[in-house]
């Protein structure tokens, strides 16, 4: 699913050249649930943004879901991202005036789908996260765990191959976090989704199939795929 070779990201910060990722090599098989750990500033979120096509590398190659996205233009990346990636945030980013159904529907509104087709996809996504009975509720009427499940349904609604999650349990109590991690495990194992999750929580990382550590833009313990 993911192959990085020499992946490097550099940007200018004032008069200083910052390199949050340095010649990184990484392979992630389809259907693997990968946790990324490391201190703040180690490059974890930078790597997530590159894998999801939100940002572009300064050097190296990056192949995700069969496409060399390091060579795509900004417009091509936008279209590729809409088809192939679902992003799960720590703080949900739900629209407070919209229902759960309407929040999940948002990514589909630019697609040439009929209302009936959109409804089928939204209901399937909400059913997958066990929230079909809460689809008409707004975020303020949901618990934190339920809000995160709506956010996961929104990430899933276009049926992407890759899910990237930035601290998805960081704002949840332990019980809700455990349920979210079990859901992510099921998405990988039963539905073949490839998941890359950034976390600071060792207990969250234990839910993943594999954990890698980043230190100052360098992966400490790469190989696996998948332990051949």
What is the domain-level CATH number for residue 38?
3.40.50.300
Token duo for residue 126: 């909400």
Contact 7, 57 (CB under 8 A): yes
Asked which of 19-23, 39-43, 210-214 is least confident by mean pLDDT, the reply is 39-43
Q: In terms of pLDDT, which residue wins out, 104 or 110?
A: 104
Quick one: pLDDT at residue 92?
Answer: 79
Quick one: pLDDT at residue 196?
Answer: 94
Domain range enclosing 98: 2-227
pTM of the model: 0.86
Decide if pLDDT at 11 tops 60: yes
Task: Say if residue 213 is exposed, middle or buried (CB neighbours under 10 Å; 0-12, 13-18, 19+).
Answer: middle
Spatial strand order in the sheet of 2-13 = 16-28, 2-13, 59-64, 67-68
Decide if pLDDT at 219 tops 60: yes
- Grade residue 218 by pLDDT with cuts at 50, 70 and 90: confident
Contact 49, 225 (CB under 8 A): no
The total domain count for the chain is 1
State the chain's mean pLDDT as an integer.
Answer: 87
Decide if pLDDT at 221 tops 80: no
The strand pairing partners of 164, in sequence order, are: 87, 196
Max avg pLDDT among 75-84, 104-113, 133-142: 133-142
């Amino acid at each position: 699913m993911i192959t990085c070779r020499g992946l490097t990201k550099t940007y200018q910060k004032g008069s200083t050249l910052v390199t949050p990722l340095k010649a990184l090599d990484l392979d992630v098989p389809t259907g693997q649930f990968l946790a990324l750990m490391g201190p703040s500033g180690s490059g974890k979120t930078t790597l997530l943004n590159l894998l999801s096509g939100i940002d572009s590398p300064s050097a190296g190659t990056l192949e995700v879901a069969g496409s060399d996205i390091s060579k795509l233009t900004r417009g091509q990346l936008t279209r590729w991202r809409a088809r192939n990636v679902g992003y799960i945030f720590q703080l949900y980013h739900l629209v407070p005036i919209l229902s759960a159904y309407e929040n999940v529907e948002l990514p589909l509104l630019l697609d040439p789908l009929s209302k009936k087709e959109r409804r089928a996809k939204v209901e399937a996504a909400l059913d997958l996260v066990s929230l079909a009975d809460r689809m008409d509720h707004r975020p303020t009427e949901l618990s934190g765990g339920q809000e995160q499940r709506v956010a996961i349904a929104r990430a899933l609604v276009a049926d992407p191959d890759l899910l990237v999650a930035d601290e998805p349990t960081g704002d949840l109590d332990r019980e809700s976090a455990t349920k979210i991690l079990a859901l992510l495990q099921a998405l990988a194992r039963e539905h073949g989704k490839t998941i890359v999750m950034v976390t600071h929580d060792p207990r969250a990382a234990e839910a993943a199939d594999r954990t890698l550590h980043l230190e100052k833009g360098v992966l400490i313990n790469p190989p696996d795929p998948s332990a051949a």
